[in-house]
A and B are shown apart, each in its own frame.
Chain A
Amino acid sequence: MKYNNAYNFDLYPKTLRWQEGDLTATRTTMWSGPGCHNGCQLIFYTDKDGKLVKVEGDPNSPYNQGRLCLRCLELPEITNHQDRLKWPLKRVGERGENKWERISWDEAYDIIAENVRKFQKETGPESIVSMMGTGRNVSQALGQNQYANFGGPDVCLAFLSGDSCMNPRVALCYVMMGNINVADMSQFRENRYEDDSEWAAPENIIVWGNNPVVSNSDCFLGHWIVESMKRGSKLTVVDPKLTWMAAKADTWLRIRPGTDAALALGMLNVIINEDLYDHDFVEKWTHGFEELKACVQEYTPERMAEICWINKHDLVDAARTYANAKPGCIQWGLAVDQSKIGISTAQAIMCLVGICGNLDIPGGNVLIDQSANLNFSYGCGIDTLEPGMREKRLGDDKFILKTYGFGSTSQSDSVLEAIETGLPHPVRMLWLQSANPIANMAQDAPRVYKAIKSMEFVVVIDLFMTPTAVALADLVLPAAMSHERDCIRVWYDPLRTLSKCGTYYEAKEDEQIGIDLGKRLAPHKWPEWVNTTRDFMNWKLQEGGVPWTMEEIEAEGGMIYHPFNYKKYEKGLCRMDGEPGFNTPTGKFELFITVFEAFGNVAPSLPYWEEPPESPYSTPELFKEYPLVLTTGHRSFEFFHSEHRNSKTSRELHANPLFDIHPEAAEKFGITEGQWCWIENRMGRFRQIARFDITLDPRVIRAEHGWWFPEKEAAEPTLFGVFDSNPNNVIPQFEYGPTGYGAPVKSLIAKVYACTEENSKITPTEQVTKLGGFGYVK
């Protein structure tokens, strides 16, 4: 059934570069904005001036096998977009006026160095914080620059409350099993699917809290599941909306947003009480089964189904199907993190994987590592911090997983708190790299806008002039895109290269900015020979003891797979000491997390259920006023978070922000399809266009995120309309769980009403930028 694999491989040599007519073809990896964090392999076709003319998916890549999303197909349009930032800009008007002066990179570096030195001297390097948007190529550049050049200990995702994207799942997996794990679609081997002698298509795949064909999140291509479906896999889909995958599933669990932990606990109850678990694995490899068994007794399928607004039989069925599948796997997503009890949710789901014996087996959930032993993430360069500096990292004193290094970023809310209060120390300079928080990443975006406005010096590095840059930056620097970069990618196998094949005006690679600033600010923290990004990569490869140079990886076609082992815990491949077992204090897969107990019960050691902070049941009075459950953050094919709003093709397909509402609910609230509506709660409001969806529970609405309007006026009070359609107007900060992780993004309550001329006189953006915000009490 490999229908479309009839590529003419004569035209696609496995080399790095070749000529096709007038065009130079370069085989490289997509791993920068605009786009996702997957790192698909592409062929970039450039003309003699280095201009990107077209792209194709690389048929030789086992990872994406020639296929691409529409976002990568429209890359030439975005790369050559007239509005791309071309050179460094210095603010000349007030912040928000959108008045800039072109300056040289040297002038920009001088201004940065002068400010950095001033803050270092007056209030210490800890008064400088660096943040990024989603994790991509920028990660290692950000860390290295912050730690080595600025000398401060704080790096985090830009005002992402509770670090609520991937980080909760990662931290939980580290304490529970000493490793992360991913649904196995044979993606870590060069021969895919039936060509892999060991892989087996999962009998049952639970798609939990994500829509993989659209989101491709967490380095996982959703269409791998489609390939697995063609090979016989049956699906269970956990989603408040009937996604395309849910329609193809044997069981669709239309869950109330924010109740994933309840569902998992109910399923654990069924699997344990019906004796469907894998006794062998549980006895040999897990810790705390009896405690888990006792703990899930109160979480009966009846009660949990009621909490989740699903049918008890469906819950029981889903549990039995997963437990009986040989193998079964769980592809989990963002919904897990975006709940106040994100850690507990992740733990409950991982308990399912563990007790059913689906860990690290073909077609199960496999333990994985980076494809090379470099710290190419938020921690890159952290060992260059001066003694005593690491301890000043914001949030470390409050959150034990941070203190002990299970999470590699500062706790985001703690950074916001420091900016607002000056405690425990002042934060005066903000470095925002590929981040547009007020359009996308920051919960309570109006509050974050106000907080950043108070800062003394803000630098934004991005592809386009974003609302964040206009409103808040003193300096705006142009960033390169993937094909304008030399880099290596180590996030899971295969090890990949990005090989430069074009330039755009004065846009620079993030690492290059770090190298250049290093020469001015901290030459002693850098090897003298590191002058280019290629040098940077070779330096880090050497440091990490990787046996290849970047050029050698490129000579392999820019992609190297390592041998992949299943059941690594049996083979002594998980622990530092080489003994069998897991890299945890007990050496076991910890159903009961001993680390939480050992640190003084900082969080429950067993998974638990708790209502979202605001919900029909936790705040019934408030629910009368705001009678709908609001969920947000799902993806669209056309956009990656706040990116691609300036792409003509994406906007042709998806012109405006849409929220989904059941027609019955729409009728009740006097809303017609296609109408602009206000969505409001006690914090504020935003507007989107109603799209009817008969598959939703009529008590649930579902709004899009990341919207701003590059076609609108940049200057305040319009500010590209950044707050007008932004669900972050109604999502709080500081609603994290006991370990500092999690945020209630998926489970809010709200009301909805049609926009009228009368009630739309003041836009949310004007409200925030000119009238001091929505005025709710913090």
Chain B
Amino acid sequence: MSNNTERYGLLIDYEYCSGCHVCEVACKKEHDLTVGQWGIKIHQDGPRQLDNGRWEYTYIPVPTSLCDLCADRVKGGKLPNCVHHCQAGVMVYGKISELAEKVDKDTMAIFSR
């Protein structure tokens, strides 16, 4: 994969995603999306109780087909708007190969474009 057509993407450590909707709104504002349209959407698992008594309550943000990895912002040297503002600091933008190297724990996902 490491050639000049290498894909870029987002690495998300969703263990700490608080479901704050900031990525959704950051994307909406950057792309001026209309009501009902999202470039990234938070999905929710739980809360439900596991057999061991602990609770599963997880948010995971999923970029949609409208995500262009903030091509304009990135061209201007900025971070994608969701990455810039993520309240929990759990999103990383970069080349897929570099993102893959950062994966060092459970609950991490890479989205590629």
* Interface pair A74/B25, CB less than 8 Å apart: yes
Q: Known contacts A226-B88, A652-B35: does B22 contact A70 (CB below 8 Å)?
A: yes
* Interface pair A223/B47, CB less than 8 Å apart: no
Q: Chain B residues with Cβ under 8 A from A8's Cβ?
A: 77-79
What 0/1 pattern do residues 33 to 63 of A give for CB contact below 8 A with B? 0000000000000000000001011010000
Chain B interface bracket (under 10, 10 to 19, 20 to 34, 35 or more):
35 or more
Q: What is the CA–CA distance of A230 and B36 in the complex, to the nearest angstrom?
A: 33
What 0/1 pattern do residues 45 to 75 of B give for CB contact below 8 A with A? 0111100000111010000000000000000
Among candidates B55, B56, B77, B87, residue contacting A11 with C-beta atoms closer than 8 Å: B77
Q: What is the CA–CA distance of A74 and B56 in the complex, to the nearest angstrom?
A: 31
Q: What is the CA–CA distance of A771 and B94 in the complex, to the nearest angstrom?
A: 63
Among candidates A213, A227, A245, A638, residue contacting B89 with C-beta atoms closer than 8 Å: A227
Which among A3, A74, A242, A246 has the highest number of chain B CB atoms within 10 Å?
Answer: A3
What 0/1 pattern do residues 1 to 44 of A give for CB contact below 8 A with B? 11111111011000000000000000000000000000000000
Q: Chain A residues with Cβ under 8 A from B47's Cβ?
A: 242, 247, 694-695
A residues 238-286 near B (Cβ < 8 Å) are 242, 244-248, 252
Q: Chain A residues with Cβ under 8 A from B85's Cβ?
A: 56-57, 66-68, 73
* Interface pair B16/A226, CB less than 8 Å apart: yes
Confirm or deny: A562 has a beta carbon within 8 angstroms of a beta carbon on chain B: no
Q: Known contacts A3-B90, A57-B85: does B16 contact A230 (CB below 8 Å)?
A: yes
Confirm or deny: A777 has a beta carbon within 8 angstroms of a beta carbon on chain B: no
* Interface pair A637/B84, CB less than 8 Å apart: no
Q: How distant is A275 from chain B, measured CB to nearest CB, in Å?
A: 30
* Interface pair B29/A223, CB less than 8 Å apart: no
Among candidates A1, A4, A54, A242, residue contacting B79 with C-beta atoms closer than 8 Å: A4
Confirm or deny: A755 has a beta carbon within 8 angstroms of a beta carbon on chain B: no
Q: Known contacts A247-B47, A637-B20, A695-B47: does B86 contact A4 (CB below 8 Å)?
A: yes
* Interface pair B26/A73, CB less than 8 Å apart: yes
Confirm or deny: B92 has a beta carbon within 8 angstroms of a beta carbon on chain A: yes
Q: Give the nearest-CB partner of A73 in chain B.
A: B25
Q: Known contacts A3-B90, A10-B77, A247-B46: does B84 contact A66 (CB below 8 Å)?
A: yes
Q: Chain A residues with Cβ under 8 A from B91's Cβ?
A: 3-4
Confirm or deny: B21 has a beta carbon within 8 angstroms of a beta carbon on chain A: yes
Q: Chain B residues with Cβ under 8 A from A66's Cβ?
A: 84-85
* Interface pair A11/B78, CB less than 8 Å apart: yes
Q: How distant is B90 from chain A, measured CB to nearest CB, in Å?
A: 6
* Interface pair A67/B89, CB less than 8 Å apart: yes
Q: Known contacts A70-B25, A73-B22, A226-B88: does B16 contact A4 (CB below 8 Å)?
A: no
Confirm or deny: A653 has a beta carbon within 8 angstroms of a beta carbon on chain B: yes
* Interface pair A648/B87, CB less than 8 Å apart: no
* Majority-rule SS of B interface residues: mixed
Among candidates B46, B77, B87, B93, residue contacting A69 with C-beta atoms closer than 8 Å: B87
Q: What is the CA–CA distance of A54 and B13 in the complex, to the nearest angstrom?
A: 27
Q: Chain A residues with Cβ under 8 A from B55's Cβ?
A: 242, 246-247, 252, 695
Confirm or deny: A603 has a beta carbon within 8 angstroms of a beta carbon on chain B: no
Q: How distant is B3 from chain A, measured CB to nearest CB, in Å?
A: 23
* Interface pair B18/A226, CB less than 8 Å apart: yes
What 0/1 pattern do residues 280 to 297 of A give for CB contact below 8 A with B? 000000000000000000
Q: Chain A residues with Cβ under 8 A from B76's Cβ?
A: 11
List residues of chain B with CB under 8 Å of any chain A CB. 11, 13, 16, 18-22, 24-26, 28-29, 35-36, 46-49, 55-57, 59, 76-79, 83-93
A sample of 10 cross-chain residue pairs with beta-carbon separation below 8 angstroms, ordered by A number, consists of A1-B89, A3-B13, A4-B83, A4-B91, A11-B78, A57-B85, A213-B88, A214-B20, A244-B18, A694-B47
A4-B79, A73-B29, A248-B57 given; name 10 further pairs at CB < 8 Å.
A3-B90, A4-B89, A8-B79, A59-B84, A65-B89, A70-B25, A213-B88, A230-B16, A246-B55, A653-B24
List residues of chain A with CB under 8 Å of any chain B CB. 1-8, 10-11, 54, 56-57, 59, 65-70, 73-74, 76-77, 213-214, 222-223, 226-227, 229-230, 242, 244-248, 252, 637-638, 648-649, 652-653, 694-695
